[in-house]
Structure 1
Amino acid sequence: MTVNGLPMVVPASDLPERVRIHEVGARDGLQNEQRVVPAEIKAEFIRRLADAGLTTIEATSFVHPKWVPQLADAEQLFPLISDLPGVELPVLVPNQRGLDRALALGADRVAVFASATESFAKANLNRTVDESLAVFAPVVRQAKDAGAHVRGYVSMCFGDPWEGAVPLHQVARVCTALRDMGCDELSLGDTIGVATPGHVLELLSLLNEERVPTNMIGVHFHDTYGQALANTYAALEHGVTTVDASAGGLGGCPYAKSATGNLATEDLVWMLHGLGIETGVDLGRLTATSVWMAAHLDRPSPSRTVRALSHKDQ
């Protein structure tokens, strides 16, 4: 049953009262799109996401343009949105040069992108896991010295297209290394969408045993096998309160061809609101924003909630 396009609220016990959504649509969502989106449209997308109530919106990546052409306009885009009041605008920085570019524009929240597996580290970063961590250490140190908040992404936490299942201790080793070098937050990535709820709970428990506190952890699920919401629920049961999602379900991973889209922010919000969990997000405005962006991309949104609500309005 729905009321005015909203789910019926039936709270569940022992879940967080509020969840912070780390919106990745403008960066992770758009980076794999073949059609180049102008900086002005990206800026409007981010402004509309903020107007819908999202307060953490990952804006762009200061990666070399030849690796991700869609994000070659980072210097042009960031000044167009840096005045958004009350909105955190994290940016991805792959190396020292990327950090310098971000800090020069006033970015105060940055992220580094590590891998739990050797195969993906070589494909994505052209380095081994240990070599990539060695590159990130001075980047994190400089960012912290500049007063920036640092997020550490860990990809392939649950499975790898080349290596298969990823041992939990292997993930924990990378997570603790990022913690020790000074990251404020870690995002556990199910890059190819193979995780299941029990797997999620086992990894979260191991990380706690390795002294990585739950309040330091965010989760980033892909929906390849339709498990993203189930995995999110498991993380909520463990106490996780930061969940990555992409407006309209945009995105995948350009270096993992088997990866489908990210968890759609609308699908996440529908579930959270139905559970009585606060997000601060206006689902109607968010849906309208994803419909608007889908029109610019000339294809429908993959989000089931966007499709259901937009069809309902017709």
Structure 2
Amino acid sequence: MTINYPKKVTIIEVGPRDGLQNEKQFVPTEIKAKFIETLFDSGVTEMEITSFVSPKWVPQMKDASEIVRASNSILKKKIVLVPNEKGIELALEQKCNALAVFVGVSDTFNKRNINKTTKESLDELIPRIKRLKQMGIFLRACISTAFYCPFEGKIEKAKVIELCRAFVDAGIDELSVADTIGMANPIECYDLFKDLKFLFPNTLITAHFHDTRKMALANIFASLQAGVDRFDSSAGGLGGCPFAPGATGNVATEDVVYMLNQMGIETGIDLKRLLAAIDLITSEMDRPLESGQYKLHLQERLKQA
């Protein structure tokens, strides 16, 4: 059987937001800003850069406004996460043109995260989405626990499709569908993403994988076969999920870029420059970064020393 892989893939870099938000320590604003600039210089054109969330609950993102202002001159599309009406107001004050909202397919996960059921979250989000679309804002819906939940177990595909359909009907531009705890396998990924691509041909479909069980690259490969050409990833494999016990970081951007390069699929990202961006942020981490490409990069540096 001949498989038509996409000739080009878009990488949405989520390290500055989803990655750093879940690391323990606060990274200084100037380092974050330089990290974003260096990622952009490597060829990344779409990026989640911060979250307008309560600094009480997520102190790592307390400098959201400063990060947006620092990114204005380099990024046309600055995606920021907005969990509520206050977050939307703050983002609009900073003239952000791309906002991300989120909801979990699992009720239990959603309650642990934002103290609302999935339906309650959706009922709140739909009017906001319609209002923001009238203002010309690009909107991305992050669909958490699309495969498995740490509390409810396996998630029915029909529930994922139902939630995605509600967002599409409301006018969402992009669906970022996540394997939040890294339990999905390639067959499950192919099955879900093939259906989503068929059902919602006019909506951007993005796959978001965590590498908890080292299945992320295999799941990306399966998603490519299903026609997906957009993937979230995090430089250095930064991140995790504070509301999903056992979840580790996102799939590492450098590993995804290397695999796609080897397959002859264009990403527009220069691997050496990407690794330089990771060098910048790793000095702020209190743990080693575990991606395959970054480990090889460090080994090469030791040989040259």
TM-score by length of 1: 0.93
The residue number in structure 2 matching 1:58 is 48
The residue number in structure 2 matching 1:9 is none
Matched, 1:111 2:104: no
Task: Tell me which of 291, 295, 302 is aligned to 1:307.
Answer: 295
Matched, 1:81 2:71: yes
Task: Tell me which of 249, 252, 260 is aligned to 1:261.
Answer: 249
The residue number in structure 1 matching 2:172 is 183
Report the 3-state secondary structure (helix = DSSP H, G, I; strand = E; otherwise coil) of the residue aligned with 1:120. helix
2:103–2:143 CA contact under 8 A, matched in 1:
yes
2:168–2:203 CA contact under 8 A, matched in 1:
no
For residues 286 and 112 of structure 2, the distance between their equivalents in structure 1, rounded to whole angstroms, comes to 30
Residue 13 of structure 1 and its aligned partner are, at CA, apart by 5.3
The residue number in structure 1 matching 2:145 is 156
Letter in 2 for 1:82: N
Report the 3-state secondary structure (helix = DSSP H, G, I; strand = E; otherwise coil) of the residue aligned with 2:182. coil
Residue 97 of structure 1 and its aligned partner are, at CA, apart by 1.5
Report the 3-state secondary structure (helix = DSSP H, G, I; strand = E; otherwise coil) of the residue aligned with 1:36. coil
Residue 215 of structure 1 and its aligned partner are, at CA, apart by 5.5
Letter in 1 for 2:231: V
For residues 207 and 172 of structure 1, the distance between their equivalents in structure 2, rounded to whole angstroms, comes to 7
Task: Tell me which of 16, 24, 31 is aligned to 2:14.
Answer: 24
The residue number in structure 2 matching 1:7 is none
1:290–1:301 CA contact under 8 A, matched in 2:
no
Letter in 1 for 2:161: A
User: Aligned residues: percent identity?
Assistant: 45
Residue 138 of structure 1 and its aligned partner are, at CA, apart by 2.2
1:140–1:183 CA contact under 8 A, matched in 2:
yes
Matched, 1:277 2:265: yes
Matched, 1:205 2:216: no
Residue 299 of structure 1 and its aligned partner are, at CA, apart by 3.2
Distance 1:254 1:214, change over 3 A: farther
The residue number in structure 2 matching 1:102 is 91
Matched, 1:140 2:97: no
Task: Tell me which of 250, 255, 276 is aligned to 2:238.
Answer: 250
TM-score by length of 2: 0.95
2:197–2:205 CA contact under 8 A, matched in 1:
no
Task: Tell me which of 194, 205, 217 is aligned to 2:205.
Answer: 217
For residues 231 and 171 of structure 1, the distance between their equivalents in structure 2, rounded to whole angstroms, comes to 17
Residue 229 of structure 1 and its aligned partner are, at CA, apart by 0.4
Residue 95 of structure 1 and its aligned partner are, at CA, apart by 1.5
Letter in 1 for 2:295: R
Letter in 2 for 1:172: I
- Say how many residue pairs are matched: 301
For residues 190 and 99 of structure 1, the distance between their equivalents in structure 2, rounded to whole angstroms, comes to 26
CA-to-aligned-CA distance 1:46-95 (integer Å, 9 cap, x gap) = 0010011100111101112222111111112211111115x421001112
Distance 1:277 1:214, change over 3 A: farther
1:204–1:214 CA contact under 8 A, matched in 2:
no
For residues 94 and 311 of structure 1, the distance between their equivalents in structure 2, rounded to whole angstroms, comes to 40
Residue 291 of structure 1 and its aligned partner are, at CA, apart by 2.0
For residues 191 and 238 of structure 1, the distance between their equivalents in structure 2, rounded to whole angstroms, comes to 20
In angstroms, what is the RMSD of aligned CA positions?
A: 1.4
Distance 1:214 1:233, change over 3 A: farther
Matched, 1:231 2:219: yes
Residue 208 of structure 1 and its aligned partner are, at CA, apart by 4.5
Structure 1: stretches of 5+ with no match in the other structure: 1-11
Task: Tell me which of 60, 63, 79 is aligned to 1:70.
Answer: 60
The residue number in structure 2 matching 1:291 is 279
Task: Tell me which of 114, 125, 128 is aligned to 2:117.
Answer: 128
